[in-house]
Structure 1
């Protein structure tokens, strides 16, 4: 599934709506942590493409089918026509931007980028795990024990 994105900041909202509609048909519930994280990552990567390149981009999602098992990987890709490599930035607490790739790094299970023709493709993956304690630890997710939440790292 893919969406062509124009070089306009208003496209970020359209990309989020499009991704939400695709999640709905894939069996991933809107209130599921994976869905919320995926929408944030869509927002960050599409914003980066629109703001930093000023060129059209293509958003792609690889989602499980409705009969998918509990443990699957969701992949998000944004391809643009700029050959400039993505560079994570260090920003101070007062800056209003510059944290996009740091968010991607912190929220995605894996991410990276590759050159593609005259442009590049930035991708990230999220693992959807069964919510048993053992599976959550194996996927690096969070779980609860005796009413206390913790995160396995």
Structure 2
């Protein structure tokens, strides 16, 4: 099976999050994942969350890596996303109330990815997640916490308002 592995160096600057989303979206060509598919939407949201965590919580440069099975690859081959940084601080999921404006990144990763985790590497760490390339409606049917669509994950948060009306639309805040 042919797998395209690409990477992007990330500076510790919040503007890098938008650049990482645009870069990841542009790499979907040739992978068999259309930019308007739910899988692409979920992948871009995961890129946004993991890169934001690296930029905001570490203050260190990071490397974003995507492993995309080629268009001819088996439909079951997962898409893998990794963010490696030089910080030795472990990622810590937080419990936040509906009034908080942040702190939900790892909960989103847990809800959207089929698998995720992290491991130490030298003086830093690598956070990774995988998305299976099966039909997205079956992922969404499992509900938040077991692989939800991007819409359902946002909808599930207390205090999140204003997302309705955008269901089914590809979105990117740059």
Question: Which range, TM-score by smaller chain?
Answer: 0.7 to 0.9
Structure having the higher strand fraction is 1
Cα separation, 1, equivalents of 2:9 and 2:50 = 14
CA RMSD of aligned residues (A): 1.5
Of 36, 40, 47, the match for 1:35: 40
Aligned to 1:148: none
**CA offsets per residue over residues 48-89 of structure 1, 9 Å max, x none?**
000000110000000011212322200000000000000000
The reply to whether residue 12 of structure 1 matches residue 20 of structure 2 is: no
TM-score under structure 2 length normalisation: 0.76
TM-score under structure 1 length normalisation: 0.86
Of 82, 86, 89, the match for 2:87: 82
Aligned to 1:3: 8
**CA offsets per residue over residues 3-30 of structure 1, 9 Å max, x none?**
0000000000010011001112312001
**What are structure 1's unaligned runs of at least 5 residues?**
143-150
Which structure: larger Rg? 1
Instruction: Give the 4+ runs in structure 1 shifted more than 3 A.
Output: none
Aligned to 1:145: none
Q: Which has the higher contact order (CA 8 A, sep 6+)?
A: 2
Cα separation, 2, equivalents of 1:130 and 1:105 = 19
Of 105, 120, 124, the match for 1:115: 120
**What are structure 2's unaligned runs of at least 5 residues?**
1-5, 144-174
Give the length in aligned residue pairs: 138
